[in-house]
Amino acid sequence: MSLRKTYYFDSNATTSVAPEVLQAMLPFLTEKWGNPSSPYRLGKSLVEPIQAARESVAALIGASFTEVIFTSCGTESINTAITSCLYAQPTKQHVVTSAVEHSATKNCCAALEERGYQVTYLPVNRDGSLDLELFERSLQPDTAVVSIMWANNETGVLFPISKISAICRQRGILVHTDAVQVPGKLAIDVNELGVDLLSLSAHKLHGPKGVGLLYVRKGTPFRGLIVGGHQEERHRGGTENVPYLVAFGRAAELAHAVSADSQRKLAGLRDKLESDILREIPQTVRNGAKEPRLPNTTSIAFAGVEAEALLMLLDQVDICASSGSACTTGSVAPSHVLTAMGLSPAEARSTIRFSLDYETTEEDVAYLMSQLPRVIAELRAAASPRAVARLNSGKLATQAV
């Protein structure tokens, strides 16, 4: 690994494990290695740390500790939420979701369609927003669950979850939200949101990769996806990953302690980066609405630039960013999120997501802006004359917001 500083603008992909989190979990990889279900001290002594972690993650989202299930990742949480609603209500065979969900929801739904279930994928507007009237018309008597993300991982655009929940509650339809990108960036209160199920992942909030959370509101019918022993009140089998549960608890405490002031500061830094790019680099456009949006994310199309080439050049100067979800990397298709918003494949392929974090500093943003205009200019200069001519026709510039 390089000893040079990394300028990390990809916090929506993952975050580092916080030192406090690592310290909290390490004893459970060394001397405290028992099985929490065992009847002797080496095992039983692990019950209390797990309970403390459970209370910390519940507190982060305003839930009771009896309403949270530890899972192995956000993807498992999301798959469990959607299938549970179907299996627990066997006469209902229909799912409503959006066209811009993370692949965990998108591909879970595709697999369910293959098995005979019906899924409605709601379109979004150019700014990434949902049409709530269209949403309401999509609901059917046999709709088992509406699964809509709170914050889009590529654009940061927020969906009106509490409005969606209110509409569904009137009709007796369960609501799940993928809130994986939200902790530490917005305050989370499951009662304000009104959702029945909510998914989180520890590695987006300085916990380790490999542990997630599923909130299930008290009284919600539930069927587990991973069924085995009595762990998690029989809602999720498998010997508890004690180190990571403890780690998630500590990470949740850190995320919960983030102040509204810090969140405003983060938004300010992101806004500065975004406006600097849009002002200093010609033919750039932000994808998605300015508000409501996560305070840390900006998605920008750089006309005429291939995102993959740009990311490679940025990496050479120690800047980490992404062209969208890490979970779809390697795909030849352009981002389904951006194309659902009406971007052309070429526009989608010219898009970079910058996602900041509390660790991001003004100096980091200044460094990024010291490199980015030059790199973009180089890439555009290297493009074919025909591409440049097409570019200079100004098609994209008219779309700038």
37 counts as binding a second copy under rule CB under 8 A: yes
Q: Which of positions 298-327 make contact with a second copy (CB under 8 A)?
A: 308, 311-312, 314-315, 319-323, 325-327
Q: Which of positions 129-188 make contact with a second copy (CB under 8 A)?
A: none
Q: Which is nearer to a second copy, 33 or 400 (CB)?
A: 33
Q: Which helix (H) or strand (E) holds 122?
A: strand 118-122
Applying CB under 8 A, which of residues 104, 164, 303, 365 lies at the interface with a second copy? 104
208 counts as binding a second copy under rule CB under 8 A: yes
Contact stretch for a second copy (CB under 8 A) within 96-104, 130-138, 339-347, 389-397: 96-104
Q: Which is nearer to a second copy, 102 or 185 (CB)?
A: 102
Q: From residue 305, how far is each of 288, 349, 374, 385 by CA, in Å?
A: 19, 8, 13, 13
Please list, in sequence order, all residues whose beta carbon lies within 8 angstroms of the beta carbon of residue 117, skipping any fewer than 6 positions away.
Answer: 86, 93, 94, 95
Instruction: Point out the residues that are catalytic.
Output: 327
CA 252 to chain centroid: 16
Applying CB under 8 A, which of residues 92, 102, 217, 286 lies at the interface with a second copy? 102
What angle do the packed helices 362-382 and 260-280 form, to 10 degrees? Answer: 30
Q: Which is nearer to a second copy, 8 or 135 (CB)?
A: 8
Listed residue (168, 154, 114) closest to 297, CA to CA: 154
Applying CB under 8 A, which of residues 177, 181, 201, 335 lies at the interface with a second copy? 201
241 counts as binding a second copy under rule CB under 8 A: yes
Listed residue (383, 376, 388) closest to 310, CA to CA: 376
Burial class (CB in 10 A: 0-12, 13-18, 19+), 205: buried
Q: Which is nearer to a second copy, 19 or 385 (CB)?
A: 19
Residue type, position 162, single letter: S
Listed residue (55, 48, 46, 47) closest to 27, CA to CA: 46
- Secondary structure class of 163 (helix, strand, coil): helix
Applying CB under 8 A, which of residues 78, 81, 151, 173 lies at the interface with a second copy? 78
Applying CB under 8 A, which of residues 60, 175, 186, 225 lies at the interface with a second copy? 225
Site string for a second copy, 1-20 (x = CB under 8 A): xx---x-x-x--xxxxx---
342 counts as binding a second copy under rule CB under 8 A: no
